């Protein structure tokens, strides 16, 4: 059951990902990306990361993608205005990406990974567990990321505010 789920989700993920890349209209790209994010969230659920799945949808689909959508619409981008590379370059891009994949896999030498012992704790991805981890071990990164946000916030304001 979960195997088939995995396969279906995977296919969906990959197809939507390709759609992002190939779509002529930026709007379609955005939408395919949203689809892709949902399928990834599905994988999270499969992998016992339920909390993360929710957060993922909220943050990505809900926030980031909206931002993208917003910008695309603001700038009024559509398939007519969409710039395209030469076909040669596109082929080269695909070949390069493919090569990268091959090389990565080759260097990982995807043999069977180390065995793991079942049963795993299935509550690993629950809010409780994740939260505990986040506020104990990962307290410092958590705090520090606030600096990141501050910086990004000020930056966005500085960059985008209309003036003069």
Partner 1 sequence: MNNLLQDTALIFPALLIPLFPLIGFMVNGVFGKYLPKQITGWLASLAILGSFICAAYLFLNMNKGSNINIDMFEWISFAHIQIGFGFLIDPLTLIMLLVITGIGFLIHLYSISYMHEDEGFTRFFTYLNMFVFFMLLLVMGNNYLVMFIGWEGVGLCSYLLIGFWFKNNAYNNAAKKAFIMNRIGDLGFLLGMFFMLFYFGSLNYDVVANEAAKLGINNSLITITTILLFVGASGKSAQIPLYTWLPDAMAGPTPVSALIHAATMVTAGIYMIVRSNVLFALSPITLEVILIVGILTSVMAAIIGLLQNDIKKVLAYSTVSQLGLMFCALGMGAFSSGMFHVVTHAFFKALLFLGSGSVIHALHGEQDIRNMGGLAKYTKVTFYTFFIGSLAISGIFPFAGFFSKDEILAHAFQENIVVWIILTTSSLITAFYMFRLVYLTFFNEFRGTEDVKKHIHESPALMTIPLVVLTILSVIGGFMGLPEGLGFTHAFGNFLSEVTAPSLPYLKQHQHLSHATEIGLMIFAVVAALSMIVWARIKYVKNKELPAADESLTGLNKIISNKFYVDEFYNNIIVKPITVLSDLFLVLIDKLIIDLAVNATAWVVSATGKTLRLLQNGNTGFYVFAMVIGMIVLLLIRVIL
Partner 2 sequence: MNQTLEAVPQNWYLILSTLLFCIGVIGVLFRRNAIIILMCIELMLNSVNLLLVAFSAYAGNNDGQVFVFFIMVVAAAEVAVGLALLMSIYRNIASTDINVLNKLKW
Partner 3 sequence: MSTLLYTSLLGLCCMLAEVLNLRKLLVPLVIIGLSFIFWVNFQEWNTPSDLTIGPVSLANMVMFDHFSIAFSGLAIIIAILLFILSANYYSNEEKNLSDYLSILIFALVGALVMFSFANLAMLFLGIEILSISIYIMAGSRRFDKRSNESGFKYFLMGAFASGFLLFGIALVYGAAGSFEFSKITQYLNSSDIHPMFHTGVLLILFALLFKVSAVPFHFWSPDVYEGAPVLITAFMSTLVKVAAFGAIYRLFNTAFVGIIPFTEPILYAVIIATLFVSNAIALQQQNVKRMLAYSGISHAGYMLIAILSMINKTDDALYFYSVSYAIATIGLFALVISTFKSNMSEQFEAFNGLSKKNPFAAAAITIFLLSMAGIPPLAGFFGKYNLFSEAVSAGYINLVIIAVINSAISIYYYFKMILAMYTKPADEKPLVITGSYWTVAVICLLLTIIIGVVPDSLMQLLR
Residues in 71-110 that interact with partner 1 by CB under 8 A: 85, 89, 92-93, 96-97, 99-100, 103-104, 106-107
Contact call for residues 14 and 58 (beta carbons, < 8 A): no
Token readout for 101 is: 């994949």
Residue selected from 113, 120, 126, 130 as contacting partner 3 according to rule CB under 8 A: 113
Minimum gap (Å) between residue 84 Cβ and partner 2: 7
Residue 35 binding partner 2, by CB under 8 A:
no
Residue 127 binding partner 2, by CB under 8 A:
no
Residue 82 binding partner 3, by CB under 8 A:
no
Token readout for 134 is: 């986040």
| Contact set for partner 2, span 38-67 (CB under 8 A) | 40, 43-49, 51-52, 55-56, 59-60, 63-64, 67
- Binding pattern for the stretch 15-54 against partner 3, x by CB under 8 A and - elsewhere: ----------------------------------------
Contact call for residues 27 and 78 (beta carbons, < 8 A): yes
Sign of CA dihedral 97, 2, 42, 55: negative
Residue 7 class from Cβ within 10 Å (0-12 exposed, 13-18 middle, 19+ buried)?
exposed
For the chain, how big is the Rg over CA atoms in Å? 20
Of 11, 32, 10, which is closest to residue 20 (Cα–Cα)?
Answer: 32
| Residues within the interface to partner 1 (CB under 8 A) | 85, 89, 92-93, 96-97, 99-100, 103-104, 106-107
């Amino acid at each position: 059951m979960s195997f088939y789920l995995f396969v279906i989700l995977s296919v969906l993920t990959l197809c939507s990902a390709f759609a992002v890349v190939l779509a002529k209209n930026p709007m379609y790209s955005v939408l395919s990306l949203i689809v892709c994010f949902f399928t990834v969230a599905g994988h999270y659920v499969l992998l016992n990361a339920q909390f993360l799945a929710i957060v993922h949808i909220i943050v990505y689909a809900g926030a980031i993608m909206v931002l993208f959508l917003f910008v695309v619409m603001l700038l009024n981008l559509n398939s007519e205005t969409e710039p395209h590379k030469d076909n040669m370059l596109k082929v080269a891009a695909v070949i390069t990406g493919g090569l990268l994949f091959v090389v990565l896999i080759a260097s990982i030498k995807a043999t069977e990974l180390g065995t793991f012992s079942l049963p795993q704790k299935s509550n690993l991805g629950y809010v409780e567990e994740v939260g505990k981890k986040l506020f104990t071990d990962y307290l410092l990164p958590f705090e520090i990321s606030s600096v990141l946000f501050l910086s990004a916030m000020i930056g966005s304001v500085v960059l985008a505010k209309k003036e003069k």
